[in-house]
Amino acid sequence: MPRSARPKANPPQRRAPARRAAPPPRKSGGLVGILKRWWLAALIWAALAVGAYLVWCAYGLPDVDAAAREPRRPAMVVEAADGRVLASYGDLHGGYVDIDRISPHLVHALLATEDRSFYHHFGVNPLSVARAMWVNYRAGAVRQGGSTVTQQVAKNLFLSPERTIRRKVQELLLSFWLEAKFSKDQILALYFNRVYFGGGTYGIEAAARRFYGVSAKNVDLYQAAALVGALKAPSRYNPLSNPENSDGRARQVLANMADAGYLSEAEAKRVPRRWAVRSTGGAGYFSDWILDAVGDRLGPADRDLWVRTTLDPRAQRIAEEALAATLDREGARHKVREGAVVVLDRSGAVRAMVGGKAYVPGGFNRATQAVRQPGSTIKPFVYLAAFDRGLTPETMADDAPITIRNWSPRNADGRFRGIVSLRTALIHSINTVPVRIYQQIGAAPILAMCARFGIPQDDEGPSLVLGSGAVTLLDLTAAYAALANGGVGVWPHGVDSVRDRGGQIVDRPAGGGPGRVADAAAVSEVVGILAQVLVEGTGRNARLPFAAAGKTGTTQDGRDAWFVGFTDRYVAGVWLGNDDNSPMAKVGGGTLPARIWRDVMTDLHR
């Protein structure tokens, strides 16, 4: 066969690669694998939920600037004439002080008691939180807190006091923000300037001055311990209202300072006690009166005010003690439960005011609010009106029974003396003679005289001259100050000056008075007679070893008893009675009130 005709050989075939066997299917891992996947998914969802919750909490955070400017009640601080704090009203905030103007004792006391790792943590102290949780768990109640100073700043400055998880998370977020924005010293300063110390006092500067009369920079070791100690429970550990609790807490803070290394145990035990600056309790009546007086004069306060008053703490103490001692000793036997005392100087400035036996905040002030019948203390003004109409102390009148429209006034001793001079009638407080004066000169001159002296009366008919009208003790005492001044009237006042936080004078009332209200010669005659009242008349129990004048007053059935009088330095008025207008037992103006007046004046002139 020809070569060309040979059949072609088949080309070599490439061997197909051998097929690999499929790998065996993987096992799913069973239950463990499923749990792992679910656990991972759960973690992712939990992280998303926590993130969403944090965003929600952060979204609800307050506006920091707005919270720092949150409005508060303006404060009013009432001071005695010597600068001693008598009372404060509203929310008293001290001026902002930097950390370098805060006593190191205060810083050490705070850190030793509240946050010893303050300079080392990032706003939250996990160890303190864990320790507090363990202590509280063991005790079965909340015994210890784990909040740092930073957390307390966040809570006090920006957040509400509600106890919820969201608020606690917000507290943590704000703490981190505070630590990032401010230095540690700035956070401490924020804390000291905004924390509440009790008694309506916010901030260390206000608290140091309120409780100890010093600036924050000059607080000593004991004072620092007491002030920091009060932070735990401001009412319970208030240095003024609870001095023994405050001292016990201060000793604990001092022990904390020793334990933290700021002083030795021996030094802590040797620290002497410092008493808070305390005003006399009865000055509360005066302070409440001042609060109203400033409000009436200046209107609603739009800033903190400091009111320097005319009150003399020594005179206040004397008046309080004299009234309290008499009521404690004689009150039950004579069925008298209340009283009031007012002391003025000759200008009308209130030097002491006691509005009752025991002060109740915002309570009824019997010196300024009790409107009572004046009894025979009104008679000097009746006689002044008579002298203005031409009568004289030597004018004679008949002390004999008299009846006017079924009314027959009697004398306190039940006797009638016949023909007597007006001088004698006033010295012995005879009742029939001023009634005859009323018949002779009429009501108009008497009403006008009373009004000029600041004690306007209604026309009660002839009983007017025996004191059937109405007065307050303060106004009546001021009327006698006009007698002491020879007929020149005064306006009773208690405010010397009002200033703002920066010390700028906001108001300085002028005091003063209406000027001359009666003829000087006529007043001199009346004052001479009133001096004899203490020597031979109804006011003998008020007699002093130096020149003085005054008048007794007793109303029907012994419901009110008065003594009002003056020396060359002071004018004082005393009232005794019962709030329910019930009669006293054998109490007249010449008995207990005269003795209280004598005791007050004697001590004032020592």
Using alpha carbons, select from 115, 113, 116, 111 the residue that is nearest to residue 99: 111
**Where are the strands (E) in 20-81, listed by range?**
76-79
Inter-CA distances, 365 with 213, 292, 359, Å: 28, 12, 9
Distance CA 73, CA 46 (A): 45
Inter-CA distances, 573 with 132, 477, 536, 550, 552, Å: 61, 5, 20, 9, 10
Active site residue 376: yes
Distance CA 29, CA 26 (A): 9
Burial of 170 (0-12, 13-18, 19+ CB in 10 A): buried
According to DSSP, residue 407 is labeled: B
* Cβ–Cβ < 8 Å for 467, 375: yes
List of residues 6+ apart from 567 with CB closer than 8 A: 544, 546, 547, 548, 601, 605
**Position 427, amino acid:** I
Q: How far apart are the first and last CA of the chain?
A: 168
Active site residue 114: yes
Place of tokens 């036996």: 357
Distance CA 319, CA 604 (A): 9
Which of 376, 429, 468, 525 is an active site residue? 376
Which of 79, 88, 114, 468 is an active site residue? 114
Report, in angstroms and rounded to the nearest whole number, the Rg of the chain calculated over CA atoms. Answer: 41
Residues in the chain: 606
Backbone angles phi, psi at 349, to 5 degrees: -70, 130
Would you please indicate which residues are annotated as catalytic (active-site) residues? Answer: 114, 376
